[in-house]
């Protein structure tokens, strides 16, 4: 549905936006990657010391006992890393501001691989260790464990769920799953965590008969659960009650691209900035179960926000059918690809597909703050050059549309030689790139080949999968 109110809102937004004083870019947030990494390492060291203190000295007296003890340690470390994984993507504001959501998600994925490997070592170690202790076959050892260790059946089910979640994130399978299916599979991990937790505190040698250790484990898991509940459930609902965010208009910008306008009371209190994104959950059939990351496509003003969405999947393709008045839950703003990241007064923005949304907002913000901006807009056809009319001729803004597939153009416009032809002074500019991953990789490689330092290249992946 296309609303006639959106053009009027856009005009109002442009009239009310105030240019920032030249040179008054906001202070950069401190880099928090090292404290976060250090905290994870410290937690692993702490749980290792805890294991060392609680493991009987006799455990290392036989090969089987030593293997079981090591298997216990891998289970403990896996548990700590699972909690770390959840906290990394719990939307904790300090984490996001100081590290960046894309890096947090990347760490979350890396820890996931580590957790799966540790679980494999834990399971195999327990089976092999008890096989050596009891002189049984591996199968016989497993059967004995299932009958003698408390809640091991629940842990086995939880382990199977962990493996299913890990498999769904494998690159080959992830490409075949829709975001909605992937998200649903991942949601089951909370049940897996609960099942393995019960097994640990009721059967773990470090917990049985050790009230202080059990209490510490309950605090770890309880604090993790509360953090997730607070930032991912309670805050978005409270924000909706306070702001009353709803869909104000839906506008088809071009083939496969739609803008959604949101309106709420006191939206400026969210302090969003051009280049940032929100996790948006439309409270409507087909949208209710998942929140998707969408970037702002207009410098935020007043009580309105605009997102421009590309039709990339079931959810984003259905956005154009949203009705005015649809309630919306917002999480954010997130993202650090903002104007203050630019170190030079000259900036190149490269957009492809739905990446034109954040680029359009960034261009306005950068021009308002006195930067010289070139926008290279890549699309498969002229009909897909969304928001092209919103790049007016201006003294500090040059808009370069590049439409057509490579076979139609006869060349790749994003290789170093072609890009240098479009922007001869690219080496002296900061470069922001928004678009499909393959396009982003091509542009980054090209500008690096043209002499742009890595510190002057800014990208951000808007994906939780």
The 3-class secondary structure across the chain, one letter per residue, is CCCCCHHHHHHHHHHHCCCCCCCCCCCCCCCCHHHHHHHHHHHHHHHHHHHHHHCCHHHHHCHHHHHHHHHHHHHHHHHHHHHHHHHHCCCCHHHHHHHCHHHHHHHHHHHHHHHHHHHHHHHHHHHHHHHHHHCCCHHHHHHHHHHHCCCHHHHHHHHHHHHHHHHHCCHHHHCCCCHHHHHHHHHCHHHHHHHHHHHHHHHCCCCCCCHHHHHHHHHHHHHHHHHHHHHHHHHHHHHHHHHCCEEEEEEEEECCEEEEEEECCCHHHHCCCCCCEEEEEECCCCCCCCCEEEEECCCCECCEEEEEEECCCHHHHHHHHCCCCCEEEEEEEECCCCHHHCCCCEEEEEEEHHHHHHHHHHHHHHHHCCCEEEEEEEECCHHHCCCHHHCCCECCEEEEEEECCHHHHCCCCCCHHHHHHHCCCHHHCEEEEECCHHHHHHHHHHHHHCCCCHHHEEECCCCCC
Across 9-18, 35-44, 87-96, 364-373, least confident range: 9-18
Dist CA 179 CA 192 (whole Å): 21
Average the pLDDT over 32-39 and give the result.
84
Provide the pLDDT confidence category of residue 440 given band limits of 50, 70 and 90. Answer: very high
Band of residue 465 on the pLDDT scale cut at 50, 70, 90: low
Single out the residue of 452, 465, 460 nearest to residue 351, CA to CA.
460
The predicted pLDDT at position 248 comes to 95
The values of phi and psi at residue 458, to 5°, are -125, 120
CA distance 258 to 250: 7
Q: Report whether 426 contacts 372 (CB < 8 A).
A: no
Residue 208: its pLDDT value, please? 83
List, for residues 389-426, the tens digit of each pLDDT value. Answer: 998 878 899 999 999 999 999 999 999 999 999 999 99
Average pLDDT, the chain: 86
**Position 85 confidence tier, pLDDT thresholds 50, 70, 90:** very high
Comparing 169 with 48, the larger pLDDT belongs to 48
Q: For 166-185, what is the mean pLDDT?
A: 82
pLDDT exceeds cutoff 70 at 73: yes
Find out whether 456 and 170 touch, Cβ atoms under 8 Å.
Answer: no
Q: How confident is the model at residue 302 (pLDDT cuts 50, 70, 90)?
A: confident
Looking at residue 283, what is its pLDDT? 92
Strands 397-403 and 257-263: unpaired
Tokens of 354: 């739905």
Cα separation, 200 vs 194, in Å, equals 10
CB atoms within 10 A of CB 333: 22
* Residue-range domains of the chain with CATH: 33-236 (1.20.120), 243-334 (2.40.30.10), 339-459 (3.40.50.80)
Mean pLDDT of 310-316: 67
Q: Give the model's pLDDT for residue 76.
A: 95
In the predicted model, what is the mean pLDDT of residues 111-135? Answer: 91
Q: What whole-number distance in Å separates Cα of residue 420 and Cα of residue 278?
A: 34
pLDDT at 13 over 60: no
Per the model's pLDDT, the better-predicted residue between 14 and 142 turns out to be 142
**What was the pLDDT predicted at 463?**
64
Give bridge partners of residue 305 from the DSSP assignment: 262
Q: What are phi and psi of 294, to 5 degrees?
A: -130, 135
Per cent of the chain over pLDDT 70 is 91
Instruction: Please indicate whether residue 174 or residue 82 has the higher confidence score (pLDDT).
Output: 82
Instruction: Enumerate residues 6+ apart whose C-beta is below 8 A from 123.
Output: 71, 159
Question: Which pLDDT score, from 0 to 100, does residue 376 have?
Answer: 96
pLDDT category at 462 given cuts 50, 70, 90 is low
State residue 33 phi and psi, 5-degree precision. Answer: -65, -35
With bands split at pLDDT 50, 70 and 90, how would you rate the model's confidence at 223?
very high
Span 149-173, average pLDDT: 87
pLDDT at position 10 = 46
**What value does the mean pLDDT take over residues 328-338?**
89
Which of left, alpha, beta for 344 (phi over 0: left; psi -120 to 50: alpha)? beta
Whether 71 and 131 have beta carbons less than 8 Å apart is answered as: no
pLDDT at 17 over 70: no
Q: What is the pTM of this model?
A: 0.79
Q: Specify the residue for token string 């975001």.
A: 179
The Cα–Cα gap between 262 and 390 comes to: 19
> Is the pLDDT assigned to residue 31 strictly greater than 70?
no
Q: What sign does the CA torsion over 357, 362, 365, 371 have?
A: negative
Amino acid 3: pLDDT: 37
Closest CA to 297 of 383, 388, 382: 388
What is the share, in percent, of the chain residues with pLDDT greater than 90? 50
Lowest mean pLDDT among 118-127, 177-186, 441-450: 177-186
Residues 377-393 have a mean pLDDT of 88
pLDDT at residue 18 greater than cutoff 50: no
Spatial CB neighbours of 84, under 8 Å, sequence gap ≥ 6 = 40, 43, 111
Confidence of residue 316 (pLDDT cuts 50, 70, 90): low
Residue bearing the bigger pLDDT, 265 or 286 = 265
Residue 191 has pLDDT above 90, yes or no: yes
| Virtual torsion, Cα 186, 191, 196, 197, nearest 10 deg | 120
- Residue 7 pLDDT class (50, 70, 90 cuts): very low
Q: Tell me the C-alpha distance between 416 and 235, whole Å.
A: 46
d(CA 308, CA 255): 12
Does the pLDDT value for residue 460 go beyond 70?
A: yes
92-96, 117-121, 312-316, 388-392: segment of lowest average pLDDT: 312-316
- Distance from first CA to last CA of the chain, Å, rounded? 29
The backbone torsions φ and ψ at residue 349, rounded to the nearest 5 degrees and listed phi first, read -110, 125
């Amino acid at each position: 549905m296309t609303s006639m109110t959106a053009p009027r809102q856009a005009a109002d937004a442009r009239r009310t936006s105030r240019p920032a004083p030249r040179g008054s870019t906001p202070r950069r947030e401190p880099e928090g990657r090292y404290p976060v990494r250090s905290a994870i390492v410290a937690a692993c060291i702490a749980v290792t010391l805890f294991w060392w203190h609680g493991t009987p000295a006799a455990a290392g007296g036989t090969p089987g006992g030593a293997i079981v003890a090591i298997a216990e340690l891998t289970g403990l470390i896996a548990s700590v890393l699972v909690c770390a994984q959840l906290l990394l993507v719990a939307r904790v504001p300090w984490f996001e501001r100081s590290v960046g959501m894309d890096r947090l998600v990347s760490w979350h994925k890396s820890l996931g691989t580590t957790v799966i490997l540790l679980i494999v070592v834990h399971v195999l170690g327990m089976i092999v260790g008890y096989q050596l202790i009891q002189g049984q076959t591996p199968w016989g050892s497993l059967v004995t464990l299932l009958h003698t260790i408390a809640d091991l059946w629940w842990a086995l089910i939880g382990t199977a769920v962990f493996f299913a979640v890990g498999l769904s994130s494998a690159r080959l399978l992830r490409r075949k799953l829709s975001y909605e299916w992937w998200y649903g599979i991942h949601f089951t991990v909370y049940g897996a965590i609960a099942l393995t937790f019960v097994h640990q505190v009721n059967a773990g040698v470090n917990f049985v008969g050790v009230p202080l250790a059990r209490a510490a484990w309950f605090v770890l898991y309880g604090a993790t659960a509360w953090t997730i509940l607070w930032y991912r459930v309670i805050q978005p609902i409270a924000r909706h009650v306070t702001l009353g965010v709803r869909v104000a208009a839906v506008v088809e910008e071009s083939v496969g691209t739609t803008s959604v306008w949101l309106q709420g009371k006191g939206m400026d209190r969210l302090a969003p900035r051009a280049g940032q994104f929100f996790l948006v959950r439309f409270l409507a059939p087909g949208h209710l179960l998942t929140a998707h990351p969408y970037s702002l496509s207009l410098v935020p003003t007043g009580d309105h926000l605009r997102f421009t969405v590309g039709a990339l999947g079931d959810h984003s393709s259905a956005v154009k059918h949203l009705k005015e008045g649809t309630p919306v839950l917002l999480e954010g703003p997130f993202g650090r690809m903002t104007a203050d990241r630019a170190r030079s007064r000259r900036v190149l923005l490269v957009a492809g597909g739905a990446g034109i949304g954040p680029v359009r907002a960034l261009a306005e913000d950068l021009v308002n703050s006195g930067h010289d901006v070139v926008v290279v807009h890549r699309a498969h056809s002229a009909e897909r050059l969304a928001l092209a009319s919103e790049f007016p001729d201006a003294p500090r803004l040059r808009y370069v549309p590049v439409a057509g597939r490579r076979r139609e153009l006869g060349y790749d416009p994003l290789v170093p030689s072609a890009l240098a032809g479009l922007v001869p002074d690219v080496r002296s500019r900061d470069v922001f790139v928004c678009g499909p991953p393959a396009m982003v990789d091509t542009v980054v490689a090209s500008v690096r080949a043209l002499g742009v330092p890595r510190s002057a290249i800014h990208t951000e992946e808007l994906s939780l999968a």
